[in-house]
A and B are shown apart, each in its own frame.
Chain A
Amino acid sequence: MFIQQTMDLQEKLAILADAAKYDVACTSSGVERKGRPGQLGSAVYAGLCHSFAADGRCISLLKILYTNQCVYDCKYCINRRSNDVPRAAFTPEEVCRLTMEFYRRNYIEGLFLSSGVLESPDHTMDLLYQTLWKLRNECGFNGYIHLKAIPGADPALIERAGLLADRMSVNLELPTAEGLKKLAPSKDRNRILNPMRQIQRGIAAQRQGLVPYYGEERNAPCRWARQFVPAGQSTQLIVGATPENDYQMLTVAEALYKNYDLKRVFYSAFVRVNDDSLLPALPGGPPLLREHRLYQADWLLRFYGFSAGELLSETQPNFNVLLDPKCDWALRHLELFPVEVMTADYYTLLRVPGIGVRSAKRIAAARRSGRLDFPDLKKMGVVLKRAFCFLTCGGRMMYPVRMNRDFITAQLLGEEKRRAWDIGQKDSYRQMSMFDDGFLNPAPEPEDRYSAALGQL
């Protein structure tokens, strides 16, 4: 491994941003915090996006690795030990300076700090902790911090670090234990799930007011009013590095939300950065449409009251290429439609294609004071192009519609695409361009206005 001693900050930043970019989480949401007099920063519950990179992804946080040196050799990772790439490491002072100066200029919402494993998980976790401690207490940084917990690190270290961070994450990366064994032999599943469980318990204890206090260490006054991971925890799953289908992915995500109280599961289309016989070849590039469909489905789980088993099954284990998961679901449940705008309850409205969280709320509020018609629905953000087959206003449909699957599919897609849909059940994601991006409206919560661009599904 080769480390330049005299590297300047520009070069380090280039290397350690490059090394961090495959972690997709960049949200700054989940905690509302006012500024403190004399300190720098605040936090906005919905999160803010400060820029967009050339790949169209939101830049909210300064996302860097502390170091890209690593003692492990995970097959999918650009930073694995066996790769011959330039290596670098920040000092805590450098991370603090970058964060403070970027923040001041309104480039960023805060810091996302992760790291390769330097010497040992404990040693690495301690470095991260030291850096955050400095940033919070010496620099007086009051903005957002997302910290990676290093699997295998001493729980006491994770706990202390968690009192300085807003969000923590441990990446599951591969949805099944077999996948993990094959591609990341040093990370067995328990090593990942244990810190996840620990963080979950810490957050729960926080809610009940049971937080340990480490205030007086180092004889320095502690300026940071500690809370344990107030913005909750998240994780990431890599899409398409191992053969799991969408149903397996979504079931795992659902279990993580239920059993670990995760705030977010992120999906990262696999980018083949290493030439390794254990990794799949992806001639069409990263499986972006598949990633997109998973985000849409995840959205349906979190905000629309769907379960994984409603969207997919053993017999239909992958998402449709041409239709978003909600349209696809509705087409398979035509017996439930059309629904009446004036009387359907909120959750029934949410299941109508073309009606999102915001428009459902607006409808529910507006109809109390009078009759609604189709043009009114449009004003409320309903996408009529998709919704008109599934709705009546005052008992009337917008156009005569046959409640027949072929007919409605054709309405939604156009006849030509309908034929493609019939055969589209096979796994042809990567041949598809993301033509459907055009219809995506602002998302229901500002939090991910940008990240997955989902909106009125």
Chain B
Amino acid sequence: MMTIFTCADSFEGILCGVYDAWMSGLGHENVCLELADTGNLRLFAEYRQAEEDPKKAAKVTGAIRKKAGQEVYERVYRASLSCEEQKADRIYRFLVCALRIGPEVVNMLQLPAVYELFRMNRFVANEALHMIEFVRFSRTDGGILFGTVEPRNDVITLMAPHFADRLNAENWIIYDERRRSAVIHRAMGEWIAAELPDDSFREKLMESSDQKEFEDLWRTYHKHIAIAERTNPRCQMSHLPLRFRPHMTEFQEGRA
């Protein structure tokens, strides 16, 4: 009978699941990892809840770093931010290969477990890059830059280092509307991640804004830089799908 280890939907939670499943001694083919609360319970399976313990997670990351290297570690981290329900088990299957093979594993796309992780990692990394490019900040009167995003994967922690470097002298917040979480940066300081279950702060923040002047200027620029004779909505759509646009200044109605 299959034994299913359920774990929390976080990097650490998944690693604890990996630890418990691995150390259970049941054998890789008899265990499976699932995120808690996915709701689809299977018959003929035994459920065990993986217990969260930072020490377990640390042991797993230590083993990954030592046997498979930094690159594999980063890929697993990014895959853990994926929106796919099966990610926990996919990470487990991948680690079974990675800890056996070592750093070379990243090249072995012909192995299904490696390919699945490669695919999740690529989806997350691509979306993080898109979000870095497409997030738009508004500026409040108090000088806070505020940007809202709605990514499919949980990518704001991948965006934060880029802006912490680039906008190091600014106060900024990137808010994930889907997950009600944020990364927050203080000018000349560090960034932190936070859960913000109550989003009423947002209206308060925005009502004190804004220098709408530059938002209008940006819309003007965006309109005028296009060459009419080359109009090509299909091409624009394929590069910048509609799902990104609701939070982008240039696609919002302005006064201009």
Verify if B137 is at the interface (C-beta below 8 Å from A).
Answer: yes
How far is A371 from B108 in the complex, measured between Cα atoms in Å? 10
Given contacts A365-B107, A369-B107, contact A52 B239 (CB under 8 A): yes
Cβ-closest chain A residue relative to B218:
A107
**Which residues of chain B are within 8 angstroms of A36 by Cβ–Cβ distance?**
168
Evaluate contact between A59 and B222: CB separation under 8 angstroms.
yes
A97-105, A118-126, A128-136: which lies at the B interface? A97-105
Shortest Cβ gap from B206 to chain A (Å): 14
The reply to whether the CB of A259 lies closer than 8 angstroms to some CB of chain B is no
The prevalent SS among residues of B at the interface is helix
- Evaluate whether A56 and B232 lie within 8 angstroms (CB atoms) in the complex, with A37-B169, A105-B139 already known: yes
Contacts of B129 in A (CB 8 A): 48, 446
Q: Are B220 and A105 in contact (CB under 8 A)?
A: no
Interface status of B58 (Cβ within 8 A of chain A)? no
A343 an interface residue at 8 Å Cβ cutoff?
no
Residues of B in contact (CB 8 Å), total: 55
Taken together as a complex, chains A and B put the C-alpha atoms of A410 and B248 apart, in Å, by: 44
Report Cα–Cα, A106/B250, bound state, in Å. 12
Enumerate B120-147 residues with CB–CB distance to A below 8 Å.
129, 132-139, 145, 147
B23 contacts the other chain (CB 8 A): no
Cβ of A18 within 8 Å of any chain B Cβ, yes or no, is yes
Chain B residue with minimal CB distance to A270?
B229
Q: Are A34's CB and B231's CB within 8 A?
A: no
**Contact yes or no, A55 B230, CB < 8 A:** yes
Q: Which residues of B contact A10 (CB under 8 A)?
A: 216-217, 220, 256
**Residue B200, interface by CB 8 Å:** no
Q: Is A58 an interface position by the 8 A CB rule?
A: yes
Instruction: Indicate which residue in B145, B221, B239 contacts A58 across the interface (CB closer than 8 Å).
Output: B239
Interface residues of B in 198-252 (CB under 8 A from A): 211, 214-218, 220-236, 238-240, 248-250
Choose from A18, A101, A106, A450 the contact partner of B147 (Cβ within 8 Å): A106
Is B37 in contact with chain A by the CB < 8 A criterion? no
Interface band, chain A:
35 or more
Q: Take A13-B220, A105-B145 as given contacts and tell me if A366 and B108 are in contact as well, using a CB distance cutoff of 8 Å.
A: yes
Contact call A22/B227, Cβ cutoff below 8 A = yes
Residues of A within 8 A of B240 (CB): 51-52
CB proximity of B218 to chain A, nearest CB, Å: 5
User: Cα distance A183–B37 when bound, in Å?
Assistant: 70
Question: Does A1 have its Cβ within 8 Å of any Cβ on chain B?
Answer: no
Provide the residues of chain A in CB contact with B218, threshold 8 Å: 102, 105, 107
A53 adjacent to B107 (CB under 8 Å): no
- Closest-by-CB residue of A relative to B174 is A106
Interface flags for B108-123 (1: CB within 8 Å of A; 0: not) read: 1110000100000000
A105–B249 CB distance below 8 A: yes
A9 close to B (CB within 8 Å):
yes
Known: A51-B134, A51-B250, A53-B236. A40 touches B256 (CB 8 A): no
Instruction: Give B256 Cβ to nearest chain A Cβ, in Å.
Output: 7
Residues of A within 8 A of B235 (CB): 52, 55-56, 437, 453
Q: Does A218 belong to the interface (CB within 8 Å)?
A: no
When the two chains form the complex, which single residue of B167, B220, B230, B256 contacts A104, counting CB atoms closer than 8 Å? B167
Tell me which of B139, B169, B227, B239 has the highest count of chain A C-beta atoms within 10 A of its own C-beta.
Answer: B227
Most buried by B among A34, A57, A437: A57
Interface CB pairs A-B, < 8 A, 7: A52-B240, A56-B238, A57-B226, A58-B239, A271-B230, A366-B109, A450-B239
Chain B positions within 8 Å of A, measured between CB atoms, are 101, 104, 107-110, 115, 129, 132-139, 145, 147, 165-170, 188, 211, 214-218, 220-236, 238-240, 248-250, 256
Known: A18-B225, A368-B107. 13 other contacts (CB 8 A): A10-B256, A20-B225, A21-B224, A37-B188, A38-B168, A51-B222, A53-B222, A104-B137, A105-B215, A106-B137, A286-B229, A376-B109, A453-B235
Q: Which 8 A-B pairs have the closest CB atoms?
A: A56-B235, A365-B107, A53-B226, A56-B232, A55-B230, A54-B226, A35-B165, A17-B224
